[in-house]
């Protein structure tokens, strides 16, 4: 079985290496949609990296979130080894394989994978991630580039967490949305498998 790790990162630029991941958070969900663990850490900037001017304009408009992700930053190697250990132990506890989930996966997973390989020498997620944007494209029958959270139905939204640009808040909110998407998908598949239940 699989366990879903909803991951959100914050960065000071668009790509890892030239820019730094400055916050990492994850919320682990079991197959039934229960949140069974969270991870949260801020990271020190890479010594050879620079801040991207366009990204920093975004942060200048979100000063509270910026201040939150600069509190008590840890060494990237220590953080990534600790994250690797947490993911591995959480998945093992439930006898599941870990799957990273993000929106969009192309951004968050690029940073997480790069940092894991550089500092922990291994990715517990292998080299792939589940992209919520692609999944939503299928569920709401919408072109990929038109898939935004504003276009998602209210029934998917988290009742307890909102998007704040603080990594832990966004990881939890995103995880609730994903699990609601999964429930709807499973209901749809079950309906197709049992035509007598169709309206």
Q: Per residue, what are the HEC states of 59-108?
A: HHCCHHHHHHCCCCCECHHHHHHHHHHHHHHHHHHCCCEEEEEECCHHHH
pLDDT at position 158 is 82
Task: Please state the rounded mean pLDDT for residues 93-116.
Answer: 97
Query: What are the respective helix, strand and coil percentages of the chain, to the nearest 5?
Result: 50, 20, 35
| HSE of 7, CA atoms in CB hemisphere, 13 A | 30
From 162, 88, 177, 95, select the one nearest 130 (Cα to Cα): 177
19 φ/ψ angles, rounded to the nearest 5 degrees: -125, 170
Chain mean position to CA 127: 15
pLDDT over threshold 90, residue 49: yes
Any idea which of 14-18, 96-100, 144-148 has the lowest mean pLDDT?
Answer: 144-148
126-129's contacts with Cβ under 8 Å and 24+ in sequence apart are 129/7, 129/99, 129/100, 129/101, 129/102, 129/105
Q: Which tens digits make up the pLDDT trace of 53-68?
A: 999 999 999 999 999 9
pLDDT at position 188 is 76
The CA distance from 47 to 175, in Å, is: 32
Domains (ranges, CATH) in the chain? 2-197 (3.30.420.10)
The CA distance from 168 to 7, in Å, is: 9
Q: Which tens digits make up the pLDDT trace of 149-189?
A: 888 998 998 877 778 989 999 999 999 999 999 999 888 77
The CA distance from 33 to 10, in Å, is: 25
Any idea which of 64-78, 129-143, 183-197 has the lowest mean pLDDT?
Answer: 183-197
pLDDT at position 199 is 55
pTM for this prediction: 0.93
pLDDT at position 159 is 75
The CA distance from 39 to 108, in Å, is: 15
From 2, 8, 3, select the one nearest 111 (Cα to Cα): 8
What percentage of residues in the chain have a pLDDT greater than 90? Answer: 85
DSSP 126-155: TT--EEHHHHHHHHTT--GGG--GGGS-GG
pLDDT at position 160 is 75
């Amino acid at each position: 079985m699989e366990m879903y790790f909803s991951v959100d990162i914050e960065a000071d630029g668009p790509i890892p290496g030239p820019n730094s991941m400055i916050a990492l958070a994850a919320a682990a969900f079991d197959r039934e949609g229960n949140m069974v663990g969270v991870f949260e850490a801020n990271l020190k900037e890479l010594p050879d990296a620079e801040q991207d001017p366009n990204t920093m304009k975004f942060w200048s408009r979100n000063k509270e979130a910026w201040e939150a992700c600069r509190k008590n930053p840890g060494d990237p190697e220590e953080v990534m080894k600790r994250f690797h250990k947490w993911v591995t132990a959480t998945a093992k506890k439930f006898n599941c394989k870990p799957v990273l989930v993000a929106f969009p996966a192309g951004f968050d997973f690029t940073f997480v994978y790069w940092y894991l390989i550089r500092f922990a020498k291994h990715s517990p997620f292998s080299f792939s991630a589940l992209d919520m944007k692609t999944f939503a494209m299928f569920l709401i029958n919408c072109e990929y580039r038109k898939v935004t959270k504003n276009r998602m139905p209210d029934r998917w939204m988290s009742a307890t967490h909102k998007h704040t640009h603080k990594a832990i808040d966004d990881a939890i909110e995103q995880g609730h949305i994903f699990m609601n998407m999964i429930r709807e998908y499973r209901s749809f598949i079950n309906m197709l498998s049992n035509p007598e239940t169709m309206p």
